[in-house]
């Protein structure tokens, strides 16, 4: 089982950028999530992000917010989330990342929750509302328990701050490519590509992944050309999991992810 | 530590907002000391908003309670009908100094939305206000006022469709428009510097109370204010923390704490992170934020300002609750005895004063911050009286 950083290194050696795909655990139900994970594996995702729902997800647009609401209503708890993680770990050895909000960790405590996640097979953690300034106890707990910490950056993040974010990050730095929340955009904006280039100029020792608003192979290819070491896609997969008949989720996710993966080749 | 009240407060936000909060923080620290900013704000507060507000000795209400003398700090007489204008004028002025032309805000009962729309009209800024669709239905009057004042009102139908979700949507809008827009948060909640900044703009309430009490040569034994997010309470208490006065914050007890339908965040909640701050929140064992209830939309919030969390733990303020029934009763008593119709939010504070006054000496003084007027609530109270009339006759 390779960590997130090793996996991205392996992708680079193969002349590609990494593809990270996201699904919300328990949306619309646990078996749909498992089907989506199987589809991601079949489609060739390099990293799988398993979202854990929070009732008030500030950084998320309507698709993922709604998926969180459905998952919570459906009874998603840490206990059932751990089962999904274990399932994913059984069927694949790609790195697994937990993505959620700070209150979930605050409630369960960092030590207790991170150790449960790591024991179940999680490699890294993304906390959408956790800036580096507030991260001391989170990072020390994660380091001790050997979880990689992915921090977020934004197009308006200063160079000095990018350095601090990179220093606190392991795995990669998650560049939020747009101003706004998660969810589909018409196409990748020029300022997003400029933000990727700027992040790559500043951050030398950590990979840079870009996400938010990326949904098509064309989007992926543009980000790869701009220098992104990884591209992250979420909302479209969440939508496939919600809108497909249960028997079709795996195949649809697989073919969608395979299309994205082909676009990760560096030319 | 900067931005912290003990372990509470902080700045738990998506990274995109960090530069905006840093910019806001440095602008606030700069202009709060600048003579021309202070002069302009003072002038707006006095000539536009109507400060200072009176401290009224409510003799009839005191007789009705039979004990301590009750003094009402009349924030309900401010322009717009609530203390909210103290903060919106301050922040709108700050936004202008920062070169922002657009304002986004949330509102619960609509009082902050109205005060935002007024301050923006007055200072030439464009405003958009997010409001839960449940709150829009129960506070129609304020929706109409906002429209007339030129604000764009956006309904929020996610989650509980109340204040909590309106804050989520306002923050999301800010994420997408962060370069041109100032987020004019209406309570002493949210990420640093909001709790400190809103307290500063609201603490004019407590400063006036102190000098008005000095003028009548009295020291208040108790000072009472209602707490939702807690801006009128922190503005009232700040001047009196570590004095002899007993400080009492009153949360919405809804149908009673045992009913599970209430908004007593400090009374029953636990430490968590919501809307960018570490504070007491209402949450379940999994860390999901709970739903709240109050007859007053302005107190219907599962979080609370982080400074209140600290004041509670430090034992400097006593936080209690008044139920929907007690609040509506206080609303009626104040209307009948004094000819003052209080906001349902403020009625919670009045209810607590009515409760404690009888056991106090006639020479003692209770100050109640009457944070707003109740015109917006007459429909809700009317319906409540009809719905509960039969039951209350039996008891």
Verify whether the Cβ–Cβ distance B16 to A156 is below 8 Å: yes
- Chain B positions touching A72 (Cβ under 8 A) are 288
Chain B interface with A: residues with Cβ < 8 Å: 10-16, 18-20, 158-159, 164, 168, 171-172, 175-179, 271-276, 278, 281, 283, 285-289
A203-216 confidence digits (pLDDT tens): 999 999 999 999 99
The CATH number of A17-262, from 3.40.309.10, 3.20.20.70, 3.40.50.620, 3.50.30.10, is: 3.20.20.70
- Chain B positions touching A134 (Cβ under 8 A) are 10-12
Paired tokens of B212: 């008005």
The whole-angstrom separation of Cα B294 and Cα A102 is 27
Tell me if residue B218 is catalytic.
Answer: no
CB-CB neighbours of A22 under 10 Å: 25
Counted across chains A and B, CB pairs separated by less than 8 A come out at 108
Verify whether the Cβ–Cβ distance A179 to B179 is below 8 Å: yes
Give the residues across from B56 on adjacent strands: B72
Residue B392's pLDDT band, with cuts at 50, 70 and 90, is: very low
Verify whether the Cβ–Cβ distance B176 to A179 is below 8 Å: yes
Q: Poorest-confidence range of A41-50, B242-251, B288-297?
A: B288-297
B395, pLDDT greater than 50: no
A1, pLDDT greater than 50: no
Verify whether the Cβ–Cβ distance B19 to A157 is below 8 Å: yes
B245-293 confidence digits (pLDDT tens): 999 999 999 999 999 999 999 999 999 999 999 999 999 999 999 989 9
Query: Does ipTM top 0.90?
Result: yes
Paired tokens of A82: 């751990």
- Tell me, what's the pLDDT at B388? 75
Q: B272, B281 in Cβ contact below 8 A?
A: yes
C-alpha B259: how far from its chain's center?
24
- Chain B positions touching A162 (Cβ under 8 A) are none
Verify whether the Cβ–Cβ distance A58 to B272 is below 8 Å: no
List active site positions of A.
49, 60
- The C-alpha R_g of chain B, in whole angstroms, comes to 19
Verify whether the Cβ–Cβ distance B175 to A179 is below 8 Å: yes
B330-357: b or e for each residue (b if 16 or more CB lie within 10 Å)?
Answer: bbebbbebbebbbbbbbbbbbbbbbbbb
Work out the mean pLDDT of chain A and round it to a whole number.
96
Mutation target to probe the A interface, by most A beta carbons within 10 A, among B12, B155, B179, B301 is: B12
- Tell me, what's the pLDDT at B393? 41
User: What is the spatial order of strands in the sheet that B365-370 belongs to?
Assistant: B55-57, B69-74, B365-370, B222-226, B246-254, B318-323
A75-124 confidence digits (pLDDT tens): 999 999 999 999 999 999 999 999 999 999 999 999 999 999 999 999 99
The whole-angstrom separation of Cα B99 and Cα A78 is 45
Q: What are phi and psi of B359, to 5 degrees?
A: -90, 5
> CB-CB: which of A55, A107, A152 is closest to B159?
A55
The whole-angstrom separation of Cα B263 and Cα B226 is 12
B13, pLDDT greater than 90: yes
Verify whether the Cβ–Cβ distance A56 to B13 is below 8 Å: no
- Tell me, what's the pLDDT at B391? 47
- Tell me, what's the pLDDT at B153? 97
Chain B residue with CA closest to A128: the answer is B14
Chain A residue with CA closest to B16: the answer is A154
> CB-CB: which of B11, B177, B272 is closest to A107?
B272
Q: B74, B104 in Cβ contact below 8 A?
A: no
In this prediction, residues B128-148 reach a mean pLDDT of 94
B201, pLDDT greater than 90: yes
Tell me if residue B106 is catalytic.
Answer: yes
Verify whether the Cβ–Cβ distance A156 to B12 is below 8 Å: no
Verify whether the Cβ–Cβ distance A179 to B272 is below 8 Å: no
B389, pLDDT greater than 80: no
- Chain B positions touching A58 (Cβ under 8 A) are 13-14, 168, 171-172, 175, 275-276
- Tell me, what's the pLDDT at B160? 83
More confident residue, B388 or B337: B337
B65-86 confidence digits (pLDDT tens): 999 999 999 999 999 999 999 9
Q: B10, B184 in Cβ contact below 8 A?
A: no
B328-342 confidence digits (pLDDT tens): 999 999 999 999 999
Verify whether the Cβ–Cβ distance B16 to A176 is below 8 Å: yes
- Chain A positions touching B288 (Cβ under 8 A) are 53-55, 72
C-alpha A92: how far from its chain's center?
16
The whole-angstrom separation of Cα B158 and Cα B171 is 14
- Tell me, what's the pLDDT at B390? 45
B181 to chain A nearest CA, in Å?
12
Verify whether the Cβ–Cβ distance B286 to A77 is below 8 Å: yes
A149-179 confidence digits (pLDDT tens): 999 999 999 999 999 999 999 999 999 999 9
Domain ranges of chain A: 17-262
Mutation target to probe the B interface, by most B beta carbons within 10 A, among A53, A72, A102, A108 is: A102
Task: Report the percent of chain A where pLDDT is more than 70.
Answer: 99
Work out the mean pLDDT of chain B and round it to a whole number.
95
- Chain B positions touching A53 (Cβ under 8 A) are 288
The whole-angstrom separation of Cα B367 and Cα B356 is 12
Q: Can you list the alpha helix ranges (DSSP code H) found in B66-139?
A: 84-97, 111-123, 133-138
> CB-CB: which of A55, A155, A158 is closest to B289?
A55
């Amino acid at each position: 089982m390779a960590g997130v950083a090793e996996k991205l290194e392996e992708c680079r050696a193969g002349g590609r950028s990494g593809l990270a795909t996201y699904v919300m655990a328990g949306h619309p139900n646990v078996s749909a999530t498992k089907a989506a994970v199987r589809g991601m594996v079949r489609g060739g995702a390099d990293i799988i992000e398993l979202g854990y729902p929070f009732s008030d997800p500030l950084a998320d647009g309507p698709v993922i917010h709604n998926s969180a609401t459905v998952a919570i209503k459906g009874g998603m708890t840490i206990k059932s989330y751990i089962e999904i993680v274990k399932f994913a770990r059984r069927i694949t050895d790609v790195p697994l990342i937990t993505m959620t909000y700070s209150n979930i960790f605050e409630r369960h405590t960092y030590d207790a929750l991170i150790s449960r996640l790591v024991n179940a097979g999680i490699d890294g953690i993304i906390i959408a509302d956790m800036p580096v300034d507030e991260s001391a106890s989170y990072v020390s707990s994660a380091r001790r328990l050997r979880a990689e910490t992915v921090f977020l950056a934004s197009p308006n993040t200063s160079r000095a701050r990018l350095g601090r974010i990179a220093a606190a990050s392991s795995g990669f730095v998650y560049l939020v490519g747009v101003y706004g929340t998660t969810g589909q955009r018409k196409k990748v904006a020029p300022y997003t590509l400029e933000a990727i280039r700027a992040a790559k100029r500043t951050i030398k020792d950590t990979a840079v992944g870009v996400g938010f608003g990326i949904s098509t192979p064309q989007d992926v290819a543009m980000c790869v050309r701009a220098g992104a070491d990884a591209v992250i896609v979420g909302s479209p997969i969440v939508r496939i999991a919600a809108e497909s008949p249960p028997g079709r989720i795996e195949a649809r996710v697989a073919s969608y992810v395979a299309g994205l993966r082909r676009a990760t080749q560096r030319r | 530590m900067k931005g912290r009240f003990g372990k509470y407060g902080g700045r738990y936000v998506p990274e995109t907002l960090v530069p905006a909060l840093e910019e806001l923080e440095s602008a606030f620290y700069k202009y709060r000391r600048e003579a021309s900013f202070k002069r302009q704000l003072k002038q707006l507060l006095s000539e536009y908003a109507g400060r200072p507000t009176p401290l009224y000795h409510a003799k009839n209400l005191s007789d009705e309670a039979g004990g301590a003398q009750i003094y009402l700090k009349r924030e309900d007489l401010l322009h717009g009908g609530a203390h909210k204008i103290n903060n919106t004028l301050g922040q709108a002025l700050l936004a202008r100094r920062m070169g922002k032309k657009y304002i986004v805000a949330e509102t619960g009962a609509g009082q902050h939305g109205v005060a935002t729309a007024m301050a923006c009209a007055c200072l030439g800024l464009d405003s958009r206000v997010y409001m839960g669709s449940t709150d829009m239905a129960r506070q129609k009057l304020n929706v109409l006022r906002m429209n007339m004042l030129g604000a764009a009102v956006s309904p929020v139908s996610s989650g509980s469709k109340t204040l909590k979700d309106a804050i989520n949507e306002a923050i999301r809008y800010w994420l997408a428009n962060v370069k041109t827009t100032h987020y004019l948060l209406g309570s002493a909640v949210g990420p640093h510097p909001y709790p400190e900044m809103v307290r500063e703009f609201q603490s004019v309430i407590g400063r006036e109370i102190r000098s008005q009490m000095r003028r009548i040569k009295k020291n208040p034994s108790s000072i009472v204010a209602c707490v939702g997010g807690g801006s009128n309470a922190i503005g009232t208490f700040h001047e009196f923390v570590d004095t002899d006065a007993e400080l009492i914050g009153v949360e919405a007890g809804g149908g009673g704490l045992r009913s599970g339908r209430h908004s007593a965040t400090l009374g029953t909640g636990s430490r968590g992170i919501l809307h960018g701050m570490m504070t007491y929140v209402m949450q379940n064992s999994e860390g999901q934020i709970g739903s709240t209830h109050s007859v007053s939309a302005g107190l219907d919030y599962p979080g609370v300002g982080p400074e209140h969390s600290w004041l509670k733990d430090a034992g400097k303020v006593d936080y209690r609750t008044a139920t929907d029934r007690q609040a509506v009763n206080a609303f009626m008593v104040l209307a009948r005895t004094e000819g003052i119709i209080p906001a349902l939010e403020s009625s919670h504070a009045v209810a607590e004063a009515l409760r404690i006054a009888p056991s106090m000496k006639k020479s003692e003084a209770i100050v109640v911050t009457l944070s707003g007027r109740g015109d917006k609530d007459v429909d809700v109270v009317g319906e409540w009286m009809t719905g509960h009339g039969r039951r209350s006759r039996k008891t």
